[in-house]
Amino acid sequence: MSHGHDTHVPAAPSPIRFPVWTLIVAGLCVAAGAATFLWTLLGGHAGLAWSAYLAGAFYALGLGVFGVLWIAMTTLTKGTWAVSMRRIPEAMAAWIIPGAILAILVGLGSHSLYSWTDEAVVAADHFLVHKKAFLNMGVFYGISAVAFLVWTGFSIAIVGNSLRQDTTGKVSHSRAIVTLSAAFVVLFALTFSAVSFLYLMSLEPHWFSTMFAVLTFTDVVQTGMAFVCLVAAGLVARGAYNGLVNENHLHAAGTMLFATTGFWAYIYFCQFLLIWYANIPEETIYFLRRMDNGWLAWILVLPVLKFVVPFLFLVPRMSKRTPWKLMAAGAWVLMAQFVELFVMVAPALGHGEEAVPAHAPTVEALVTLGFLGAFFLVFAFTLQRRAPVPVKDPGLRECLEFHH
């Protein structure tokens, strides 16, 4: 809720500067990830290399597009409490262009990832013959290009209006963001669903799930909120916001992160329940493959990592208002998202007698760290070049009056 009394707007804080050591660590992660990918690929393990690349690229791309989605969601729901920390998701959105380029390069490893790219395999499988109209590289590149252009265009338009408002102070920029946000959420739902089908679900082309697009959307929202909470809490702890972001705003962001843990558990269980109840071979194959060859432990521990631990940790009020606790919760969810992508991708690469046995995700972790390091460098560079807070946004005063 907010109070109606007049609130003094503090002076704009100094530009945000990240500690040099964080940039060095991010750079080392990029180097380690690239070296691991090349070493694995040239060492004759193309499937492992490209599966790790796919998981890392999809992970980082989700963080980038969530930046635009977060602005759209808070704008359309009149979430003025989020105005003062809006520059964080705006900087996240800067990854969409480099992230899209890196993601579409997954096509270079398509023969190692997707069985539907092998003409001989398709010709011998009537299911794949039937799905060939969608599962082909022309559609893969076409839909990828359309989706990434849509995301990029809306990112430039929405963030551009926000930045121009810093100079002009015109309310018309806020109105434009509302209109753009309404269009974006509709187009995002369609394009992201198609991208998740092509990049992840088609790893097992016989399998299908009506809940998959919702599950991957939930992953993006939960992971994106975790990153926003991690950065916002860290900057508040350093005093970087000059009181423009306080414990009330952290509480609201932490509540959103808390809500996403329950939402993820609901969607994850719904997918399992619908598949178990229907007992259709084309659906059950997903879970059967992840219950054999040592994968059962991974699929059982995933709900603990993504739901039980963060849910219980964020129940106390102070966990959402104390910066270091909120940072810990955000970091934990980011780690858990890597485990989910590992469980989604790695078991799908082998079939029949060539099923991939469970293994420690060393290569996958290093390659994913490389992508996250690159994402952080782009994010930090962007955030440091902009005003930390949109001080001329008409909703800022109401934002400062917010109490949770």
Determine the pLDDT at residue 237.
94
- Residue 14 forms part of a structural domain: no
> How far from 324 is each of 68, 71, 167, 354, CA to CA, in Å?
26, 25, 34, 45
- Residue 169 forms part of a structural domain: yes
Its domain, for residue 69, covers 20-400
Determine the pLDDT at residue 9.
66
Q: Which residues of 137-165 are buried (b: 16+ CB within 10 A; e: fewer)?
A: eeebeebbeebbebbbebbebbbebbeeb
Which amino acid appears at position 184 of this protein?
F
Does residue 77 register a pLDDT over 90? yes
- Provide the number of structural domains found in the chain: 1
The per-residue pLDDT for range 310-361, each reduced to its tens digit, is 999 999 999 999 999 999 999 999 999 999 999 999 999 876 556 788 999 9
CA distance 370 to 33: 4
CA distance 30 to 28: 5
Determine the pLDDT at residue 1.
46
Which residues, in sequence order, are bridge partners of residue 2? 402
- Residue 10 forms part of a structural domain: no
At 309, list the tokens: 């631990």
Contact 79, 378 (CB under 8 A): no
Determine the pLDDT at residue 4.
46
The per-residue pLDDT for range 50-73, each reduced to its tens digit, is 999 999 999 999 999 999 999 999
Q: What is the mean pLDDT of the chain?
A: 93
Q: Which residues of 347-382 are buried (b: 16+ CB within 10 A; e: fewer)?
A: bbbeeeeeebebeebebbbbbbbbbbbbbbbbbbeb
DSSP string for residues in 172-224: HHHHHHHHHHHHHHHHHHHHHHHHHHHHTGGGSTT---TTHHHHHHHHHHHHH
At 176, list the tokens: 């434009």
The end-to-end CA distance of the chain, in Å, is: 6
Model confidence at 7, pLDDT cuts 50, 70, 90, reads: low
- Residue 5 forms part of a structural domain: no
The per-residue pLDDT for range 231-244, each reduced to its tens digit, is 999 999 999 998 89
Helix (H), strand (E) counts: the chain: 18, 0
Q: State what percent of residues in the chain have pLDDT above 90.
A: 84
Question: How many beta carbons lie within 10 A of that of residue 395, not counting itself?
Answer: 19
Place of tokens 């003025």: 80
Q: Is 91 helix (H, G, I), strand (E, B) or coil?
A: helix
- Residue 206 forms part of a structural domain: yes
Closest CA to 106 of 54, 147, 55, 58: 54
CA distance 237 to 76: 29
- Residue 2 forms part of a structural domain: no
- Residue 12 forms part of a structural domain: no
- Residue 263 forms part of a structural domain: yes
Model confidence at 147, pLDDT cuts 50, 70, 90, reads: very high
Determine the pLDDT at residue 246.
92
The per-residue pLDDT for range 279-318, each reduced to its tens digit, is 888 889 899 889 988 999 999 999 999 999 999 999 999 9
Q: Which pTM does this prediction carry?
A: 0.94
Model confidence at 212, pLDDT cuts 50, 70, 90, reads: very high
Contact 160, 176 (CB under 8 A): no
Q: State what percent of residues in the chain have pLDDT above 70.
A: 97
